[in-house]
Amino acid sequence: MDIELKKNEIPVKKSFDFVDTIRCISMIGIVYEHSAVLWGLKYTSTADTWLQIMAMQFWKFATIAFFIIGGFLINYKFTEYTPLQYLSRRFKNTIKPWLFWIIVLVMLNLLHNWILHVKSGDDLFSGMTPLGYFAEQFRYILFESSFWFILNFLICISILLIFKRYLYNLWFGLLWGVVSLVYSVNLYQEWFVTHHSAALFGFVFYLWLGVYLNRYYDKVMAFVRQFKWSWLIIINLTFFVLSCLEVIHLVNEGSNDQYNTLRISNIAYSLTMFFLLLKIGSIKFIDRKLTPRATTFGIYLIHQILIIRLLPEVFKWNKWNFTTFSVVENIGYSILRFAIVYLLAFALTHVILKTKLKWAVGGS
């Protein structure tokens, strides 16, 4: 089935009242995932292990859902602007804030080192030359932190722009779906490293899927509305359990990336969760009180800085040694960390939006 995009064809804009709800819920999941302390911990009890995995797996749909909703939102932009115009707008609204907060984090890390240098004489540049120190800082932040996904998102958009003439061809999306599955298989074969920064093209499919779903929104929603709640919940629970089982299997296989987003079971779980969120639709409290349209990008940019620089200072006493906590305590600790990070990032974004620095959180 090939559907060619005509040069002068501009889709009729519609009101997608569910978009902000999904965007907000996805960001909550992403911030929770990054704030959690359950990563890499091993419990001897089977029940504890299952509690740990379920607490982490529940939100693992968030990244894929965020890419899908991102594709949903950019569909019209692809028809309204030339590729150069669109990328120019993206630089202003995305790259500038992204670079700004990376520099802020580098400076905060240097300030932290300077305080340790003054207090205890630690080397200011961690045993490296100043040039080497800053190079390593930028490398770590870009490839090891959540800042990577902004660049990944832009790369995915650029790929869709380059192949814009094939955007609504089903075979084009399926091709990128196969590419995503290569990363799923690689978790077992290890043809290349499984780190998230290696999944350079693994998320193109989900961005394309959002564009495609937007294109056929009426048909998609007609199908969603007639789908029974009971069956949808059963399907979601099934893929949730399968995702947990795959985590256990990967642990037994000796994988160090058992929670990888591109696990085949997690892809299925993420897609069915997105389907469930479509059926739920708009949640008025989220849309009105959490204002995701205005705050989501700022929360994403700021939350990693709070995790890296603030949380270690808030929880620096020995009583917060999570390696000695039970699994239930660590779930509670993770929720506490999430609440601090999300609420503070939300508040800071709101404050910044009222200043001349509003561009730094995506404001115009």
Contact between 30 and 282 under an 8 Å Cβ cutoff? The reply is no
Residue (of 61, 76, 63) closest to 275 by Cα position: 61
Please identify which residue in the block is written with the tokens 């990563």: 39
Position 261: which residue type? T
Show the tokens assigned to 56: 């982490």
Q: Rounded to whole angstroms, how far apart are CA atoms 38 and 42?
A: 9
Phi then psi dihedrals of residue 153, to 5 deg: -60, -45
- Torsion over CA of 45, 51, 56 and 62, rounded to 10 degrees? 150
pLDDT bin (cut points 50, 70, 90) of residue 121 is confident
- The alpha helices in the chain, defined as continuous H runs, are 19-35, 46-57, 62-80, 83-90, 96-120, 130-144, 148-162, 170-189, 204-215, 217-226, 229-252, 264-280, 284-289, 292-305, 311-314, 327-352
Confidence (pLDDT) at 74: 83
State residue 88's pLDDT score.
76
Q: Is residue 362 within 8 Å of 97, Cβ to Cβ?
A: yes
Q: Residue 220: is it exposed, middle or buried by C-beta count within 10 angstroms (0-12/13-18/19+)?
A: middle
> How many angstroms separate the CA atoms of 344 and 337, rounded?
11
Beta bridge partners of 56: none
The residues near 170 (Cβ < 8 Å, ≥ 6 apart) are 1, 2, 3, 212
77-93 burial, b at 16+ Cβ within 10 Å, e below that, comes to ebeeeeeeebbeebeee
Residue-wise pLDDT tens digits, 10-46: 444 555 778 999 999 999 999 999 999 998 888 999 9
Those residues whose C-beta lies under 8 Å from the C-beta of residue 255, and which sit 6 or more positions away, are 187, 194
Give, in order, the Cα–Cα distances in Å from 140 to each of 109, 134, 195, 239.
Answer: 12, 10, 13, 33
Q: Residue 194: pLDDT band by 50, 70, 90 thresholds?
A: confident
Is 138:99 a contact under the CB 8 Å cutoff?
Answer: no
Q: Residue type for 85, please?
A: Q
Cα 271 to Cα 251: distance, rounded to the nearest angstrom: 24
Domain boundaries, the chain: 20-361
Bridge partners (DSSP) of residue 2 are 169
Give mean pLDDT, residues 88-93: 77
CA 12 to chain centre: 29
Read off the pLDDT of residues 214-262 as tens digits, 9 standing for 90 and up. Answer: 999 999 999 999 999 999 999 999 999 999 999 999 999 988 889 999 9
Q: What percent of the chain has pLDDT over 90?
A: 66
Handedness of CA 206, 212, 217, 222 (dihedral sign): negative
- Reduce the DSSP state of residue 222 to 3 states and report it: helix
Q: How confident is the model over 271-289, as a mean pLDDT? A: 93
Lowest-pLDDT choice from 125-129, 175-179, 348-352: 125-129
Per this entry, what is the length of the chain?
364
Closest C-alpha to 145, from 98, 197, 191, 194: 197
